[in-house]
Amino acid sequence: MSELILLSPLDLGIASALILLLALLSWRMRLGLGNDLMISGARTVVQLLLVGLILTAVFEQQRLVWVVLISVVMLLVAGREAMARQERRFAGWWGFGVGTLSMFVSSFTMTLFALLAVIGPEPWYTPQYAIPLLGMVLGNTMTGIALALDRLTQNAWDQRAIIEQRLMLGESAGEAVRDIRRHSMRNGMIPSINAMAVAGIVSLPGMMTGQVLAGSPPMEAVKYQILGMFLITAGTGFGTLAAVWLGARRLFDDRQRLRLDRTRLRSE
């Protein structure tokens, strides 16, 4: 295998020019995305450089406490981001708690399963494996849950008159939002299913690409990518199911009355 080609700051500067060009086009065409592109690009550079420094230290020490701390920070940030881009979201703690709890259960379960039952590093919390796996699963689960909850709350708001009519006809809360719940679950899971369907044909997924660029044998990179895709899809699926179930229950009170007033859903 050939040696890894190291990138210089100049190389990254050349790549950043593409984002700058795209931002200029956005400003020219009045798309309203120029500032977001520049801010997101700057965040990418700063955040990844900081992560690189932190992971270097964590990999050298290999202590469980640091792995747990980093995992908690990742979960809290993911919970906030999943909530931030929903057009309508649950107000108060529930806006943050539904997605975060669902991500915690699904993503951490999938990561522990991979570490203990599949890969088996020694120790099991080896940062080199634990943190990248959790980040991969958590990031994709965050996207699926955000899409599902956004669909759930928006459709419930748009169809609130229909839901109330179904309740008056004697249907339970679960029956009244059954179709909305099903469509929301599908909406959250479709990106992961599509990614699996085209992996290796339309796209070379991120884990495999990174390992190949780093000099790993292609077949070993393929094995890890298959594992990663299965973990991502399972984590996203279970997380989406949990988030939609919790969210759908939150739409109603203890007497199965629809509660979509301003104290329950907030429009952004």
Q: CA 74, CA 69: separation in Å to the nearest integer?
A: 9
Question: According to the model, what pLDDT value does residue 203 have?
Answer: 63
pLDDT tens per residue across span 79-132: 888 887 777 777 777 778 888 999 999 999 999 999 999 998 888 999 888 998
Is 10 a residue whose pLDDT tops 60? Answer: yes
Handedness of CA 80, 81, 82, 87 (dihedral sign): positive
Is 262 a residue whose pLDDT tops 50? Answer: no
Closest CA to 75 of 249, 245, 235, 237: 235
pLDDT tens per residue across span 148-195: 999 998 898 888 888 888 888 888 888 888 899 999 999 999 988 888
Is 56 a residue whose pLDDT tops 60? Answer: yes
pTM: 0.79
Give me the mean pLDDT over the 212-236 stretch. Answer: 83
Question: According to the model, what pLDDT value does residue 268 have?
Answer: 53
Question: According to the model, what pLDDT value does residue 263 have?
Answer: 41
Sorted by sequence, the CB contacts under 8 Å of residue 53 that are 6+ apart come out as none
CB 178 within 8 A of CB 251: no
Query: Between the ranges 24-33, 81-90, 214-223, where is the mean pLDDT highest?
Result: 24-33
Q: Given pLDDT bands bounded at 50, 70 and 90, which one contains residue 2?
A: low
pLDDT tens per residue across span 198-212: 877 766 667 667 777
CB atoms within 10 A of CB 92: 10
Structure tokens at 149: 């909850």
Query: What angle is formed at CA 156 by the lines to CA 153 and CA 157, rounded to 5 degrees?
Result: 85
Closest CA to 211 of 195, 234, 197, 228: 228
